[in-house]
Amino acid sequence: MRLRFDHLHWQDWKGSFTERNLERGRRYALEGLATVRSAADGLIYAQCSSPSGLVYRQSLTLKAGQKSWQVDSRCTCGAGRNCKHSAAVLFELERRQRAGDPPPRREASEGTVQQIKPPVPVLTLGSHVQVDYDRQTARMRPITRHRAALAFVYGSQRVFGKPLPGRTSFGQKPAQPLIRHGEAEQHFRRTLQEAGLRVATRRSAALAEEAGEMLEMPDDSSWLHFVQDVVPRLRHQGWQIDIRPEFIFELSEVEGWYGEIEEAIDHQWFDLEVGILVEGRRISLLPILIELIRRDPHLFEPDALARRSDEERLLLRLENPKVRKQGRATRVALPLGRLKPILNTLVELYGQALPSDTKQLRLSPLDASRLAELDDALPLTWQGGEQLRHFAQRLRHYAATPVTVPAELHAELRPYQRDGLAWMQALRELEVGGILADDMGLGKTLQTLAHILIEKQAGRLSAPALIVMPTSLIPNWQDEAARFTPTLKVLALQGTQRRALFEQITEHDIVLTTYALLPRDAEQLAAFAFHLLVLDEAQSIKNAATKAAQAARNIQTRHRLCLTGTPLENHLGELWSQFHFLMPGWLGDAKRFKHDYQTPIEKQGDQQRLSHLKARIKPFILRRTKQRVARELPPKTEIIQLVDLTPSQRDLYETVRLALDEKVRTEIAHKGLARSQLIVLDALLRLRQICCDIRLVQADIQTPKPSGKLAGLMDLLDGLLANGSRVLLFSQFTSMLALIQQELDTRSVPYVTLTGETQDRRAPVERFQSGEVPVFLLSLKAGGTGLNLTAADTVIHFDPWWNPAAENQATDRAYRIGQDKPVFVYKLIARGTLEEKIQQLQNEKARLAAGILDEHGGDWRMTEADIEALFAPLGK
């Protein structure tokens, strides 16, 4: 039978559709979702709704084949071609043909479909406060909820939601049919979905139901982003935006930022106010931010605040009754990056004890360093405090003021050394002290000599600089001064003949003395006023009660400076002692410091107190590590070498351990751990000595192998020396060094030695550096600081102790600027003994130092569990 377009049969065109689309098309046609607008000459124009209410347009072309129709259809739906909507149209056309109601031919001849004009989207925004359950606080409290409502305007008619399946939407006049533009409406919905809005899952009084389709955001920060970044773009695209009066994210513009400083007449303090300008009025931010911290303190803890993006905005309600907008409180949104310096300062100064209402912060003049941080983060217009702001900028941006290196300095300063010189010059200009805490080997001595040379050339060195150091460093300072600053006159006060030299002090530029001699010469030195007082290896005054520390504080001087690669070795009290020398009172007295910082940080791991302490000391400590500024140094490899005790060592170790364990437990039970430290340390000393060599505790012992560690050392040295290595060998026990000397003499291995008993300290250094001997034996105390031994390529630590900083200092005798060979560091550890636990405790103490100097937390303390582990039986 010949195919006829005016009498279609579905069996003849079904082959152009999948079974799935054919079945769905049949169902859509039965539900009345398809409408044929014209059909003629094999060309059909139609529209078909989906059950969700979306309307799609179709155009179909039918070409007659030998036995069936070939259908080529186009649809505005996602499928595009020969879809279920097109199948529905053909079913509907066939139904109308059978019913004798064929569609018109007019649109087919014109080749167009009736166009539906897209609507104008309308977005309404509102808020509502209601009492609800807060999961974070587990209590009922006022909670503000927000809604957005989407509607569409067709001419004068407003509609929302999706039309019911099979029905035409009507506007305000029921007799006036409205064909909706489903594709356009869906596009507007997608725009809001891409901006983060989602269908609201619960009712809210924020907007009336007739406002439109209800949408919501997950949190306030999302609402802020939407209102500030998306709403302006929607307005530009022609959206109608209706913001209700109670919507809290309607924001006022911040017209400016201001800072105001009021100094006390006696300059003992200053008041700081920071705020914003809104509608021509000044609003202090401090009471607003204090209330914000008090409401959600966990969000503003140092670590939590650091993790939050600087781009995040905080919504602030301005409580000033004069600042109102249409009868409601004005709100602003400020970038968190600009507020972090203020929030950090509030948390650091007050912790949880925030003041109830204050527009100003009362700060010490030394706290002026915080002003530069505010200046960098905020576009402030300042009033008052010019001198304090200059102090802050000069201290924070010291490197921005270039320093001319004197031609008389016989050295080429590296960039970081120039920065260190600029920093010392800034401290001198601002009349404050500081700690140059560069890693060992980065040239603290050279930087200090350059600083003194500049002072002399500028005419400010009207009195000499006094430098205090460990006895072993006197030759080093003399050599470095002669090498780098030969024009500076140096006087060394040492030995019994030094008293005859006091009258020559004013004739010199630099005076050298030692911590041991300082208390003895305190009365004579008190007669002089020095231009600069430098403490080298300043950790030597870590105990503020020592005579050396007291004598250093009593020296008359214009400026004070500390040099140390390890300002913190064991506990925070050492850091306090150095600042007590530099700027008395800056960290409070010892009792207050322990209460405010030491106990909370070391015992409780209080991160807020740690952040506060770091903020107070940061401007006055310059810390650079080798990894950061001396990347040209060759690699350093650390090797833990476990050695086994000999049978006689193991027997003695266990016998002594059992006796000492019982003694220590009894003492702790009687006095407590804190008051038993001395007996604990004495007991551990005995066990450590046994790990080194039985002869350290039993001088008359007769055994062929008194030490497994000594035997292991000799095996290690045999291999190292055979390969041409140059070795530094450290021990804390001079008696152990004597035993090692005996072994080296037996093997005819040449060496030099430096201990506290060594008189001529320069000679062994020169012999080793020149290559005359391959081994240098040093006591950790006498040889661990100040020496330059870059001829070495290997460092051996014979016996470990708590202090990792002391070991690192010793290692840095070889691993320092000027070293051009890879350095290998060996640590000999007796297997299964307390020495293995000591390694773990070293890591804990390193974390404490890192928490202050390297921006990481730390809370080391020795506990009863540590004591238990240290006195554990061998092999456990």
CB 63 within 8 Å of CB 7: no
Residue 404 maps to a domain:
no
What is the Cα–Cα distance from 792 to 813, expressed in whole angstroms?
9
Residue 876 maps to a domain:
no
Residue 506 maps to a domain:
yes
Evaluate if residue 162 carries a pLDDT over 80: no
Tally the domains of the chain. Answer: 5
Among left, alpha and beta (phi > 0; psi -120 to 50; other), residue 509 is alpha
pLDDT at 856: 34
What is the Cα–Cα distance from 540 to 552, expressed in whole angstroms?
11
Which range scores top for mean pLDDT: 112-116, 194-198, 201-205, 758-762? 194-198
DSSP 252-269: PPP-EEEEEEEE-TTSS-
**pLDDT (tens digit per residue) in 499-517:** 889 989 999 999 999 999 9
Q: Which stretches within 41-155 are classed as H helix?
A: 84-98, 106-110
Structure tokens at 221: 């920060």
Question: Residue 60 belongs to what domain range?
Answer: 10-110
Structure tokens at 830: 């007796």
Structural domain ending residue among the three candidates 75, 110, 145: 110
Structural domain ending residue among the three candidates 218, 243, 268: 243
Residue 801 maps to a domain:
yes
What's the average model confidence in pLDDT over 99-123?
Answer: 69
Task: Say yes or no: 387 and 463 in one domain.
Answer: no
What is the Cα–Cα distance from 159 to 174, expressed in whole angstroms?
13
pLDDT at 863: 65
Q: Which of 258-262, 594-598, 627-631, 796-800 has the least mean pLDDT?
A: 627-631
Residue 408 maps to a domain:
no
Task: Say yes or no: 475 and 608 in one domain.
Answer: yes
- Domain CATH for 34: 3.30.310
pLDDT at 388: 74
Task: Say yes or no: 646 and 688 in one domain.
Answer: yes
Evaluate if residue 167 carries a pLDDT over 50: no
Amino acid identity of residue 1, one-letter, is: M
What is the Cα–Cα distance from 296 to 306, expressed in whole angstroms?
16
CB 237 within 8 Å of CB 192: no
β-pairing, 361-363 vs 465-469, is: unpaired
Q: Is 272 helix (H, G, I), strand (E, B) or coil?
A: strand
Structure tokens at 344: 């950090």
CB 728 within 8 Å of CB 795: yes
**pLDDT (tens digit per residue) in 706-744:** 788 898 898 889 878 877 888 999 998 999 999 999 999
Query: Which positions ≥6 away from 388 have C-beta within 8 Å?
Result: 261, 263, 270, 365, 368, 371
Structure tokens at 303: 């670590």
Query: Which positions ≥6 away from 129 have C-beta within 8 Å?
Result: 142, 143, 144
**pLDDT (tens digit per residue) in 425-454:** 988 888 888 999 987 778 899 999 999 999
**pLDDT (tens digit per residue) in 323-348:** 444 445 677 878 787 887 777 777 76
Task: Say yes or no: 427 and 568 in one domain.
Answer: yes
User: What's the pLDDT band for 845 if we cut at 50, 70, 90?
Assistant: low
What's the average model confidence in pLDDT over 785-809?
Answer: 79
Amino acid identity of residue 807, one-letter, is: E
CB 45 within 8 Å of CB 106: no
Task: Say yes or no: 505 and 589 in one domain.
Answer: yes
Evaluate if residue 293 carries a pLDDT over 90: no
Q: Is 247 helix (H, G, I), strand (E, B) or coil?
A: coil
Could you count the other beta carbons within 10 Å of the beta carbon of residue 205?
13
Nearest to 443 by CA among 172, 629, 705, 245: 629
Structural domain ending residue among the three candidates 629, 647, 667: 629
- Domain CATH for 697: 3.40.50.300
Longest dimension (CA), the chain: 136
Evaluate if residue 374 carries a pLDDT over 80: no
What is the Cα–Cα distance from 652 to 519, expressed in whole angstroms?
43
User: What's the pTM value of the predicted model, to 2 decimals?
Assistant: 0.56
What is the Cα–Cα distance from 413 to 130, expressed in whole angstroms?
67
Evaluate if residue 165 carries a pLDDT over 50: no
Nearest to 787 by CA among 767, 809, 758: 809
User: What's the pLDDT band for 357 if we cut at 50, 70, 90?
Assistant: low
Task: Say yes or no: 790 and 646 in one domain.
Answer: yes
Structure tokens at 478: 């003399």
CB 181 within 8 Å of CB 118: yes
For 740-743, which contacts have Cβ atoms below 8 Å and span 24 or more sequence positions?
A: 740/710, 740/713, 740/777, 740/798, 741/777, 743/710, 743/714
Residue 115 maps to a domain:
no
**459: buried, middle or exposed (CB in 10 Å: 19+, 13-18, 0-12)?**
exposed
**pLDDT (tens digit per residue) in 627-637:** 777 666 677 77
Q: What is the DSSP letter of 594?
A: I
Structure tokens at 515: 């911590």
Helix (H) or strand (E) holding 179: none
Q: Is 409 helix (H, G, I), strand (E, B) or coil?
A: coil
Which residue shows structure tokens 């924020």? 206
**pLDDT (tens digit per residue) in 596-612:** 788 888 787 777 778 77
Amino acid identity of residue 632, one-letter, is: E
What is the Cα–Cα distance from 507 to 607, expressed in whole angstroms?
50
Evaluate if residue 855 carries a pLDDT over 80: no
Which residue shows structure tokens 């550890």? 829
pLDDT at 635: 73
What is the Cα–Cα distance from 524 to 660, expressed in whole angstroms?
48
pLDDT at 38: 87
β-pairing, 510-514 vs 465-469, is: parallel
What is the Cα–Cα distance from 794 to 721, expressed in whole angstroms?
10
Instruction: Give buried/exposed letters for 469-506 (b at 16+ CB in 10 A, else e).
Output: bbbbbbbbbbebbeebbeebebbbbeeeebeeebeebe
Q: Is 92 helix (H, G, I), strand (E, B) or coil?
A: helix
| Distance, C-alpha 317 to centroid of its chain | 30
Task: Say yes or no: 717 and 841 in one domain.
Answer: yes
pLDDT at 608: 72
The overall average pLDDT reported for the chain is 81
Share of the chain above pLDDT 70, in %: 87
What is the Cα–Cα distance from 826 to 803, expressed in whole angstroms?
16
Task: Say yes or no: 125 and 100 in one domain.
Answer: no
Q: Would you state the torsion angle of the CA atoms of residues 613, 618, 621, 622, taken in this order, to the nearest 10 degrees?
A: 150
Q: Would you state the torsion angle of the CA atoms of residues 291, 294, 297, 303, taken in this order, to the nearest 10 degrees?
A: 50
Task: Say yes or no: 382 and 422 in one domain.
Answer: no
Structure tokens at 393: 């900028």
Higher pLDDT, 67 or 401: 67
Evaluate if residue 288 carries a pLDDT over 90: no
Sequence-ordered strand ranges (E) for 505-576: 510-514, 529-536, 556-563
Share of the chain above pLDDT 90, in %: 23
What is the Cα–Cα distance from 335 to 342, expressed in whole angstroms?
12
Residue 602 maps to a domain:
yes
Residue 20 maps to a domain:
yes
**pLDDT (tens digit per residue) in 768-795:** 888 899 999 988 877 666 677 888 888 8
What is the Cα–Cα distance from 189 to 177, expressed in whole angstroms?
23
Residue 819 CA: distances (Å) to CA of 282, 537, 678, 797: 59, 21, 40, 19
Task: Say yes or no: 751 and 675 in one domain.
Answer: yes
Task: Say yes or no: 438 and 558 in one domain.
Answer: yes
Task: Say yes or no: 65 and 180 in one domain.
Answer: no
**pLDDT (tens digit per residue) in 541-581:** 888 888 988 999 999 999 999 998 877 777 788 888 888 89
Strand order of the β-sheet with 510-514 is 490-492, 510-514, 465-469, 529-536, 556-563, 434-436, 621-622
Higher pLDDT, 332 or 95: 95
Q: What is the DSSP letter of 596?
A: I
Could you count the other beta carbons within 10 Å of the beta carbon of residue 296?
11
